[in-house]
Amino acid sequence: MLHPSYSDLMAVVNSEVEDGEAPVVNSRYSIVLATAKRARQLISGSEPLTITRDKKPLAVAIDELYKGELKITSKDEEDEEETGEQDS
Is pTM beyond 0.75? Reply is no
In the chain, the number of structural domains is 1
What pLDDT, in 10s, does the model give residues 42-68? 999 988 888 878 789 999 998 988 888
36 has pLDDT over 60: yes
Please check whether residue 52 lies inside any domain of the structure.
Answer: yes
Please enumerate in sequence order all residues whose Cβ is within 8 A of that of 81, keeping only pairs 6 or more positions apart, or say none: 73
Query: In this model, does residue 27 exceed pLDDT 50?
Result: yes
Q: Is residue 1 part of a domain?
A: no
pLDDT at 81: 47
In this prediction, residue 74 has a pLDDT band, given cuts at 50, 70 and 90, of: low
- Yes or no: say if 62 and 2 are a contact pair by the CB < 8 Å rule: yes
**Domain encompassing residue 11:** 6-87
CATH of the domain at 16: 3.90.940
